[in-house]
Structure 1
């Protein structure tokens, strides 16, 4: 069994728990409101903007024997750079105030997920950051494209309000293939354990983020000029 298959098997329970979140079913059924969609985008902005800094930090902590992995992180950085601005553009296209979202405070669950990511890189094994990549990319591949279409129809929003979701749904199919090949090169047991451990934690932390959105229904920041 490849390590990627082991990773999938060892995190199956956590993955199923995340996918059982009511907000996922609501999104696919078109039952999400604009405020909830904007709340999701706002929290997405608050964690996506840390993706590149986290990968840079992880790359800096890798030893000389992991130069091959540092090169893979450079590839991820090139792919991910600027995606947080896509999120703000979607908020703007949905009638929200992107500047208000940019300067808002993240929800507690989002802040804790980001903090754990930095802790993994700085205190633990930086290779564990791949556990976060596994969770975020795998989730977006499974849901993003289909959910974006259902939401666009239900909320009557233009396609430009879903660039983050729809683009990641298409792009991350290739990203998952790249990720599979990458982690299958991890041959140190300590690195493999670090990725599995982090993935289990990130499934729970990402799930907490969606629970927060479902429970809070945080309203979308509205611009001073009415959206039409």
Structure 2
């Protein structure tokens, strides 16, 4: 089947993010069997910070798509419900690693993570909410492409005995279906050239911020 413009661009972004992650010190060490507990804690702390906003951002975008893109709104509402509680996965993982709940909740995300949170709220609430599909695709694709491998390496490298892996392992499984669903929804319902351009723009911004987040995480010690 011929790929649409939006999907082809996102496939290119997907490859770029995957290569950027593999080239980051944070992921390199995990894939080499040398996972760093402090970096993993910092990653989960940032995950907690952005995951608590995800369902709200997605629902916000859905509300603004109701009249103009009803099928996209329907998908977004369903996805927002699925994302509820994922911040609690990260919080539970951190508690398994010995991090106090209050410490996690008081922590600030790294600058790129803060910027990502602000940008998706801007996209969902003020810009073209259809653009949010660019953010969804980048994050879901990375869970699909590398989440399972990273979970296995963390489990072995940190001797976790299958604990403290709810967020990473859970997304490694669920994001396979999510990525397929997102592709189908965009191919079917995103036809307006401006919507395509906005999705691509959001994907490009998120690709930069997401890879940068892993670089910043490796520089800040717990």
Q: Same fold (TM over 0.5)?
A: yes
Alignment partner of 1:147 out of 141, 150, 164: 150
Q: Deviations over 1:199-218 (max 9, x none)?
A: 011000001110101112x2
Structure 1 pair 181–123 and aligned structure 2 pair: CA distance change class (3 A): same
**Aligned residue number for residue 212 of structure 1:** 216
Distance apart, 1:5 and its partner CA = 3.5
**1:134: Cα distance to partner?**
0.9
Selected match of 1:194 from 173, 177, 198: 198
**Conservation of the 8 A alpha-carbon contact between 1:14 and 1:204:** no
The alpha-carbon distance between structure 1 residues 206 and 38, as it changes in their structure 2 partners (threshold 3 A), is same
Alpha-carbon separation, structure 2, partners of 1:134 and 1:73 = 12
Unaligned runs of 5+ in 1: 220-228
Q: Answer yes or no: is 1:55 the counterpart of 2:58.
A: yes
- Deviation per CA, 1:181-207: give whole Å up to 9, x if none: 111121111111111110011000001
TM-score normalized by structure 1?
Answer: 0.90
Q: CA deviation at 1:175?
A: 0.8
**Alignment partner, residue 130 of structure 1:** 133
- Structure 2: gaps spanning 5 or more residues: none
- What's the CA shift for 1:74? 1.4
After the TM superposition, which segments of 4 or more aligned residues of structure 1 sit over 6 Å from their partners? none
Partner of 1:8, secondary structure, is: helix
Residue of structure 2 equivalent to 1:25: 28
Q: Distance in 1 between matches of 2:171 and 2:155?
A: 15
